[in-house]
C-alpha cells in the first residue's frame, strides 16, 4: 500500500505492484559474479516506467541523520559524505551502510576517486585522503576557502571553490594554488582529454571550470601549473555543474544532441549550454532541453550520466537513463523525449547522485540514501559470462 501511495504522489509516474525489499541482478545458478553490485536494502518507494524498462527506487536505512552532500561508488564500496565530517560506507552485496571515524568535523562537499581510492573536499579547505580499512587522513590543502568540487586527472587531482580557488594536488601529495583570474565562487570542473590525431600519443588536456555569475574558465594542462583563461559564458546565471554527456547521445534530447559532448547545468534552468566540437577549448551555445521548470525555476540541481552505454534488461539491450535530482525528494528520469518525474513524500532536498554499471545512489538532507536500478538489469560483462554474447 505504501508503494502505491508514494507512486501516486509522483507526477506522471507509472507504477507497478509491490516491489521486493531486496533487489539484485539475476544470475543463473551456475554463474558466480563478484562484480560491484549492491542489493537494495529497505523500503521500495517508487517504480518509474519508461517505454523499455522499469526503474526502481528504494529508500535505504542510514546510520546518520546528517545532511549528505556527496556520494561515490567504486569497484568495491559505496561512500557518502556530509555535514560534521560524516563518512558512511557500504560494501557490495546486501551489506548495510555504516558510519566510520572521520578525521574532521568540517562539512564535506564533494568526492572523486583516483585508482579506486577517494579524495574528499569541503569546508575551509578540508581535503581527505582514503588510506585503507576505514582509515582517512586529513591533508593540508594550503587554503582556508571552502572547496565545492574535485576531480582526478591522471596523476593529479584538482578542486575548486570560493574566491576563484583552484587547488592542484600532485601524485606525491604536494599542493599548489593555481591562479584562475577570477574571484567568483567556482562550483564544478571537468577534465577533458582528446587525442589530436596529428601525432601518435599527442593529446590536449584541459580543465573547464564553471561558477557563479556565468563564470566559465578554460585551463590548459600542457604547462605546470595550468594556465587558466576566462572565456565568454553562454549565460549570466550561476553555473552549478558541467557534465560529460558523450556517452549518452540517445538519452539526451536537445537540438543537435548527438554532436554534443559536454553540458552545463545552470541555476535558472536547464539551458546553460551544450558544447560543439571534439577538441577543447569548447564553444558553448544556449541549447534548451525540453524540460519544464521546478519550484525554484529549475527541474533539478544535479545530473548523473552513466558511462555505461548498454545494459541488458529482461526485454533486451537498453541504455541507462540520465537522472536529474532536486528539491524535496524530487527528480526526473530522462531518456530521449521521455521525461518521467518523481516526488517522494517525506524526503528533503536531494544533493548528489553517482553510480556504477548496475547501481545508482542518491543522497540528500537528513541522511537520505536512495538506491536506484533498472529492474533485472545485467552489465555487458555479466551478459557475456552468462550467454557468451558481445
Segment 350-375, tens digit of pLDDT = 999 999 888 999 999 999 999 999 98
Residue 387 domain-assigned (yes or no): no
pLDDT at residue 337 above 80?
A: no
Higher-scoring residue by pLDDT: 101, 234? 101
Residue 388 domain-assigned (yes or no): no
Residue 144 domain-assigned (yes or no): yes
Residue 80 domain-assigned (yes or no): yes
Higher-scoring residue by pLDDT: 310, 258? 310
- Count of domains observed in the chain: 1
Q: What is the mean pLDDT of residues 178-198?
A: 86
Higher-scoring residue by pLDDT: 337, 374? 374
The CATH number that applies at residue 281 is 2.130.10.10
Residue 372 domain-assigned (yes or no): yes
pLDDT at position 149 is 98
Residue 354 domain-assigned (yes or no): yes
pLDDT at residue 70 above 90?
A: yes
pLDDT at residue 376 above 60?
A: yes
Beta strand 302-304 pairing with 283-285: unpaired
Instruction: Please tell me which of 210-214, 258-262, 312-316 the model is most confident about, judged by mean pLDDT.
Output: 210-214
pLDDT at position 282 is 64
Q: What is the mean pLDDT of residues 97-125?
A: 95
Q: What is the mean pLDDT of residues 331-346?
A: 88
Say how far apart CA 390 and CA 384 lie, in whole Å: 6
What confidence category does residue 11 fall into, taking pLDDT thresholds of 50, 70 and 90? very low
Residues 137-156 have pLDDT tens digits of: 999 999 999 999 999 998 89
The C-alpha cell of 329 is what? Answer: 525528494
Q: Whole domain around residue 75: which residue ranges?
A: 2-377
| Region of poorest pLDDT, from 36-45, 226-235, 261-270 | 261-270
pLDDT at position 303 is 87
Minimal CA–CA distance to 380: which of 355, 353, 354, 356? 356
The DSSP line for 81-145 is EEGGG-EEEEESBTPPPEE---S--S-EEEEEEETTEEEEEEGGGEEEEEEETTEEEEEE-S--S
Residues 16-35 have pLDDT tens digits of: 333 333 334 443 334 344 44
Residue 386 domain-assigned (yes or no): no
Type and span of the H or E element at 369: strand 369-374
Amino acid at each position: 500500500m505504501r508503494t502505491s501511495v508514494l507512486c501516486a504522489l509522483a507526477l506522471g509516474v507509472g507504477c507497478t505492484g509491490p516491489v521486493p525489499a531486496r533487489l539484485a541482478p539475476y544470475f543463473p545458478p551456475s554463474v558466480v559474479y563478484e562484480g560491484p553490485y549492491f542489493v537494495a536494502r529497505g523500503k521500495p518507494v517508487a517504480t518509474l516506467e519508461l517505454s523499455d524498462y522499469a526503474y526502481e527506487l528504494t529508500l535505504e536505512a542510514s546510520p546518520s541523520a546528517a545532511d549528505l552532500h556527496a556520494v561515490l561508488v567504486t569497484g568495491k564500496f559505496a561512500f557518502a559524505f556530509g555535514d560534521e565530517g560524516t563518512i558512511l560506507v557500504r560494501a557490495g552485496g546486501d551489506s548495510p551502510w555504516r558510519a566510520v571515524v572521520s578525521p574532521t568535523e568540517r562539512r564535506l562537499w564533494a568526492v572523486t576517486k583516483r585508482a579506486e581510492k577517494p579524495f574528499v573536499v569541503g569546508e575551509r579547505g578540508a581535503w581527505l585522503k582514503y588510506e585503507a580499512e576505514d582509515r582517512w587522513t586529513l591533508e593540508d590543502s594550503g587554503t582556508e576557502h571552502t572547496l565545492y568540487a574535485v576531480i582526478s586527472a591522471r596523476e593529479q587531482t584538482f578542486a575548486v571553490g570560493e574566491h576563484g580557488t583552484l587547488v592542484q594536488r600532485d601524485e606525491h601529495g604536494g599542493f599548489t594554488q593555481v591562479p584562475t583570474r577570477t574571484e567568483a565562487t567556482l562550483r564544478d570542473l571537468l577534465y577533458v582529454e582528446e587525442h589530436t590525431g596529428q601525432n601518435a600519443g599527442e593529446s590536449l588536456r584541459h580543465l573547464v571550470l564553471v561558477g557563479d555569475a556565468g563564470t566559465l574558465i578554460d585551463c590548459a594542462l600542457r604547462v605546470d601549473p595550468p594556465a587558466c583563461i576566462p572565456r565568454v559564458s553562454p549565460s549570466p546565471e550561476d553555473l552549478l555543474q558541467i557534465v560529460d554527456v558523450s556517452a549518452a547521445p540517445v538519452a539526451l534530447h536537445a537540438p543537435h544532441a548527438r554532436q554534443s559532448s559536454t553540458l552545463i547545468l545552470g541555476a535558472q534552468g536547464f539551458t546553460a549550454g551544450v558544447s560543439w566540437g571534439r577538441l577543447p577549448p569548447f564553444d558553448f551555445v544556449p541549447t534548451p532541453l525540453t524540460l519544464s521548470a521546478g519550484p525554484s525555476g529549475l527541474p533539478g540541481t544535479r545530473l548523473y550520466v552513466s558511462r555505461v552505454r548498454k545494459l541488458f534488461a529482461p526485454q533486451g539491450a537498453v541504455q541507462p537513463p540520465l537522472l536529474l535530482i532536486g528539491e524535496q525528494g524530487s527528480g526526473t528520469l530522462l531518456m530521449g523525449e521521455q521525461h518521467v518525474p518523481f516526488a517522494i513524500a517525506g524526503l528533503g532536498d536531494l544533493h548528489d547522485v553517482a553510480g556504477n554499471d548496475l547501481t545508482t545512489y542518491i543522497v540528500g538532507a537528513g541522511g537520505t540514501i536512495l538506491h536506484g536500478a533498472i529492474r533485472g538489469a545485467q552489465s555487458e560483462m555479466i551478459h557475456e559470462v552468462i550467454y557468451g554474447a558481445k
